[in-house]
Amino acid sequence: MNFEKPEHNLKIFFAMSVGLLIFVGIIAVTIFFFTLHGEEQTMVPEVRGMFLVDALLDLQVKELYPRLQLRYSQSARERGMVLEQDPPAGTIVKAGRRIRLVVSQGVVLDRVESYIGRNINDVRLELQTLAASSDSPLFEMREPPVYDFSPSAPGTILRQRPEPGADVSGLTFLEFVVSRGPDNVMVTVPQLIGLPLSFAIERISESNIAFEFFMRNVQRDEREESVVSQNPPADTSIDSRTPVSIVVGTPSQLGENEVFDIFSRTIPANPYPLPVRLDALLPSGERITLIAVNFTGGNFTVPYRLPVNSILLLLMMDREIYRETVSF
């Protein structure tokens, strides 16, 4: 029989023991770090009022995970927004915890609501928002609405079809009758002659008159960049749609790279006056408003004194409809 030497057996035993110790050590270290990771704590962030994508990013940073629930809400603008969370913000939890999020899936409608008495522009925007947030919108507004003279404020919805409370079984077209304001509204022409241009514009805005600007060189004692004539004269009673002709005296001297001119743009006729504004974006980056009025449509004219390369921005209901650059 062949017997191995005792020294050889001892080496094998020693090697096996070392290997076992290393294995046990690896297991121990793994368990230690696993336990340590499992005990890491983090603070739950505030995600209510945030849209889901942003809320998930905040949770990911904290090593937290969502459990989602969907719920209808009262506003189409809340679609995709986190309405509730549990645990609440500020709670200390272990990393890896699931956070319950209640997310809005928009509004559910089954009856026609009443739009009577509301402004047509607000309703139009609301319906457009609902349509954009739904794969199958229930309502669509027929354009253009019917306009009628009324003592109600211009733009007020007077009647609607279908009537409020009618059942909705599919896509429904809403038809509105809208006030264009009283017929034959008379206004009193303000005194503008002698006023500097900026003061004249302010008075025009307050009086709600229609207007059209012209310019010419000053004569005798007339002041530059002021109103030198108007027609009809002050205190005349006229229909609010009749424009007042206003002549402004041109300046004899301008700064380097300055322009004095009249902005002119035809705006399509509206059934009633809508907010119109002319802004100027200066080369310095500053933005100023030259005039803000309610305007029914027609030739929109405004004098200005601006640096070359300024940008004139014409806005209706805060939406830009035209722009041009000031040049010589």
3-state SS class at 114: coil
Cα distances from 154 to residues 150, 203, 206, 207, 281, in angstroms, run 8, 22, 17, 16, 31
pLDDT digits (tens), the chain, 328 positions: 444 444 544 444 444 444 444 444 444 444 444 444 445 899 999 999 999 989 999 999 999 999 999 887 777 678 789 999 999 999 999 999 999 999 987 766 668 999 999 999 999 988 888 787 676 778 899 999 999 999 999 999 999 999 998 887 678 999 999 999 998 889 999 999 999 999 999 999 999 899 999 999 999 899 999 999 999 999 999 998 899 999 999 999 999 999 999 999 999 988 889 999 999 999 999 999 999 999 999 999 999 999 999 999 999 989 999 999 999 9
Q: Sort strands 98-104 and 65-71 into parallel, antiparallel or unpaired.
A: parallel
The encoded tokens of residue 216 equal: 């010419």
In the block, residue with structure tokens 């399509």: 268
For 279-296, the DSSP string reads EEE-TTS-EEEEEEEEE-
- In one letter, which amino acid is 234? A
Residue 290: its pLDDT value, please?
97
Query: Of the candidates 135, 66, 127, 143, which has an alpha carbon nearest to the alpha carbon of residue 105?
Result: 135
Q: Please report the pLDDT score of residue 254 as a whole number.
A: 94
Q: What pLDDT sits at residue 78?
A: 83
Structure token pair of residue 45: 């962030």
pLDDT at residue number 267 = 94
Per-residue pLDDT tens for 197-207? 999 999 999 99
Q: Which residues of 133-162 are buried (b: 16+ CB within 10 A; e: fewer)?
A: bbeebbbebeeebebeebebebbbbbebee
pLDDT reported for residue 49: 92
Give which of 115, 157, 116, 118 is closest to 139, Cα–Cα.
Answer: 115
Question: In whole angstroms, what is the distance from residue 49 CA to residue 52 CA?
Answer: 9
pLDDT the model gives residue 184:
84
